[in-house]
A and B are shown apart, each in its own frame.
Chain A
């Protein structure tokens, strides 16, 4: 079945460091890809998305490019802030009836 694999956390960085969180997927067809973020005690919220190959999603300094050839959607940010500390989920949708399937999540800690 369809699945999403993310790098294991936690990831600990100093403020202003470069961030990469790896995400790869397995899916039949051509899914849409998403990154969601979850802050403590809250539900997930959409960070960015890409709906077709070579699309780049971006928001709040975060970026991810839909790479069909490597089935990847890695999340990047050039300079992280303490306020970026959260859990990040990679997800896909659009195969098997439009349900959204999530990866295990990667916890990010940013130190001042």
Chain B
């Protein structure tokens, strides 16, 4: 199994530019999560999907952030326009199903730097 695949691994962009992060969950997994990791705030849940439907987006910081899951094998997180304070590592994770006992499988993350 290839695991959760994220792209790109690193992204450097200038303030005001649009940034799109991509995620391919593990085949057969029904739940997908986007997390942001910073030194100051730790690991924050941004949004999660179940069966391609957004269930909880209360962690999305503001309207500049949007996430989609058009099918079971692909999700995007978009920031438009980007700001320096968006610099962080963004992780995608998936789990086989929605449930309290389910473990998360994480991708390797996208290191985003906004200059």
Contacts and interface: CB of A to CB of B under 8 A. Distances in A.
Contacts, number: 57
B56 A99 contact: yes
B100 A31 contact: yes
Interface residues of A, number: 25
User: In the complex, which range does the number of interface residues on chain B fall in?
Assistant: 20 to 34
A43 B108 contact: yes
B12 interface: no
Given A44-B91, A99-B33, A32 B42 contact: no
Interface in B78-95: 91, 93
B55 interface: yes
Contacts of B43: 44, 89, 102, 105
Given A43-B106, A93-B102, 17 more contacts: A31-B100, A43-B4, A43-B91, A43-B109, A44-B91, A44-B93, A44-B104, A45-B106, A46-B103, A49-B101, A49-B103, A99-B33, A99-B45, A99-B56, A101-B45, A103-B42, A105-B43
Can you list the 3 inter-chain pairs with the closest CB atoms, starting with the nearest? A94-B100, A43-B106, A102-B43
